[in-house]
């Protein structure tokens, strides 16, 4: 039960991170795991944290994409407004 509470606290903590801070921490975790010098239990714990950070980064990127808008032009090339950018 204590581990579940700790996991919830970590998830709440991640939910408050900026994209830059989350990606920085994620890169740090990847480097530690790639170095292979982390004990197994800690490897599992930081891998789980990395997954949470990855989801946070993806969420923030989706939000940013939704805010990006494309400027629309009339036949003469003059700006007429904006519309959502279709990224597909």
Residues 30-62: tens digit of each pLDDT: 999 999 999 999 999 999 999 999 999 999 998
57 closest CA partner among 88, 26, 28, 12: 26
> Which residue has 């480097």 as its token pair?
31
Other C-beta atoms closer than 10 Å to the C-beta of 74 total 9
> Which residue has 């239990």 as its token pair?
41
- Distance from CA of residue 7 to its chain's centroid? 18
Question: Residue-wise over 55-73: b if at least 16 C-beta within 10 A, else e?
Answer: ebbeebeeeeeeeeeeeee
Least confident of 6-10, 52-56, 77-81: 6-10
């Amino acid at each position: 039960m204590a581990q579940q509470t700790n996991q919830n606290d970590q998830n709440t903590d991640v939910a408050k991170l900026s994209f830059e801070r989350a990606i920085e921490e994620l890169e740090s975790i990847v480097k530690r795991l790639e170095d292979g010098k982390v004990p197994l239990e800690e490897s599992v714990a930081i891998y789980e944290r990395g997954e949470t950070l990855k989801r946070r980064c993806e969420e923030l990127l989706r939000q940013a994409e939704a805010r990006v808008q494309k400027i629309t032009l009339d036949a003469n090339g003059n700006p007429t407004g904006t519309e959502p950018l279709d990224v597909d």
